[in-house]
Amino acid sequence: MGDASPGSAPPVGEYFGDLIADVALDAPVSRVMLTTALERLQAASSHLATMSDATFIHVGETEEVYVIPLADWKALADVAGLSVPERHAAREVHRRLAVSLAGDRVVGHGPFIRISKRKTR
């Protein structure tokens, strides 16, 4: 499934999967709009690891999970050009998946998942 090869990051739609549709059902954005917003966030997140307030909490096969202050989340969304509804929906996608990946360490924080390159074996 998807176009990603070993050594490349999986597409946002593939990575977040059905979670995008689930969140879009309760948000004032469509699935397509939310996927596009998540793609723009990923593109804007290249400097995330160097942000002084970003705390790295989990690394997986194709992701890194950080918690960042909500002000930094807003700034990242602004860089990505997201509207307020897109930002809220995108944060909810990140929050739901981060809780399943990193558990209680993300509760009450602003989790951000940076999709990374697939590891080659």
Query: What is the tens place of the pLDDT at every residue in 11-58?
Result: 899 999 999 999 999 999 999 999 999 999 999 888 776 677 888 888
Q: Which pTM does this prediction carry? A: 0.85
Question: In terms of pLDDT, which residue wins out, 104 or 93?
Answer: 93
**What pLDDT does 23 receive?**
97
Looking at the predicted structure, is the pLDDT value of residue 109 above 70?
yes
Question: What band does 1 get if pLDDT is binned at 50, 70 and 90?
Answer: very low
Question: What band does 116 get if pLDDT is binned at 50, 70 and 90?
Answer: confident
Give the list of residues 6+ apart from residue 84 with CB closer than 8 angstroms, or none.
Answer: none
Checking 54-62 for CB contacts under 8 A at 24+ apart, the result is 54/112, 55/109, 57/102, 57/105, 57/106, 58/98, 58/101, 58/102, 58/105, 60/101, 61/118, 61/119, 62/9, 62/10, 62/15, 62/115, 62/116, 62/117, 62/118, 62/119
